[in-house]
A and B are shown apart, each in its own frame.
Chain A
Amino acid sequence: MHQVCDVELGADILAANRRIAEDNTALLETHNIKAFDFLGAIGSGKTLLIEKLADILQSRGIRCAAIAGDVAGDDDYRRFSAHDMLVVNINTGKECHLDAHMVDHALEKLDLENIDVLFIENVGNLVCPADFPLGSQTRITIVSVTEGDDMVRKHPVLMGSSDILVVNKIGLAGVMEVDPNVLSRDAHRINPHVPVVMTDAKQGKGLEDLLKVMGL
């Protein structure tokens, strides 16, 4: 005679990632590395923003490194490498996000003794990466005015997962007929405490403001 039984499990599917993320944080802190992970849609300007920030920091003697996360290819890896940074490329293949385990392996390949600031560029995707903390101390979300002024209100919960919001490409706001203040206002309706920084990475605008908010 077959019986029906209920097995209480309490198995948290996201817990394994969180545990590895915590280990990554501990490892980074042991080496006094400040790590920032950048999350944003494809084409929001993550790579260029990191390149520009790294140039400024390296000119001040701050040693930078990067982890380039992409579904395929080494385009961002090559771009970062041209800035005299230690870089690890992660191709996620079919996955739409980086996870803490991938970052853990990337950290094994970096000379952590010689890094002050680590940039982690996530796969271009505004939603999926949000469920996977990587172990960085600060998560920066980038939206650009070319994505439209409704980007923030379309992703309200994401504002609660971001430590800093960057509104990028503000030099194109006029052409796009987008008011960057709308993005900022929408972000503050959901998360009144999130710092919002306006940048135009290509023109080099707002970079010092961003570095200040990043505590660098």
Chain B
Amino acid sequence: MHEFSIITSIMEVVKSEIEKRNAIMVLEIQLEVGELSFLSHDALQFGFRALAENEPKIDKVCLKIITVSADVKCRKCSYSGSMKTIESEVYHTAAPVFQCPECSGPIDIIKGRECVVTNVRMEVD
């Protein structure tokens, strides 16, 4: 469960913004999480609630998590775009395939592993 260390960093970012803007209350934090990251949304929400509990300016905040789909670039052809996926009852979800959807060549991940605090909505004077 590495979500707690991630949430700790998010709290630091938000607290620094509160201080910078002398905010009264934070209303919403928007977080973008790449679909290829190993972060569980439920664990992030749980960790956030646990750590926000003792923060009067953050404790009522809504943590909005948006999944960012992955983008790849082929090392062989010029393909750049979304990943191929396989639907199988084995995975209970669409599993990404790490090869070029066009030429089956090896790929580099361009997007999809990030965890970004994109927006903080706060009440200020």
Contact = CB atoms under 8 A, between A and B. Distances in A.
Given A3-B125, A8-B119, A192-B98, A131 B21 contact: no
Interface residues of A, number: 36
B110 interface: no
A132 B6 CA distance: 11
Contacts of B17: 7, 9
Contacts of A194: 98
A6 interface: yes
Given A160-B96, A189-B86, A97 B2 contact: yes
Given A97-B2, A189-B86, A4 B121 contact: yes
Contact of B97 (A97, A128, A189): A189
A2 B119 contact: no
The SS class assigned to the B binding surface is mixed
Contact of B2 (A2, A95, A157): A95
Looking at A6, A7, A10, which has the most chain B CB atoms within 10 Å of its CB? A7
Q: Of residues A8, A16, A132, A156, which shows the largest number of chain B Cβ atoms within 10 Å of its Cβ?
A: A156
Q: Using C-beta atoms within 8 Å of the partner chain, give the interface range for chain B.
A: 35 or more
B98 A2 contact: no
Contact of B122 (A5, A128, A192): A5
A193 B38 contact: no
25 contacts: A3-B124, A4-B27, A4-B122, A5-B123, A6-B119, A6-B120, A6-B121, A7-B121, A8-B119, A9-B116, A9-B119, A9-B120, A13-B13, A14-B114, A96-B1, A127-B38, A131-B39, A157-B38, A157-B96, A189-B86, A189-B97, A190-B86, A191-B99, A193-B106, A194-B98
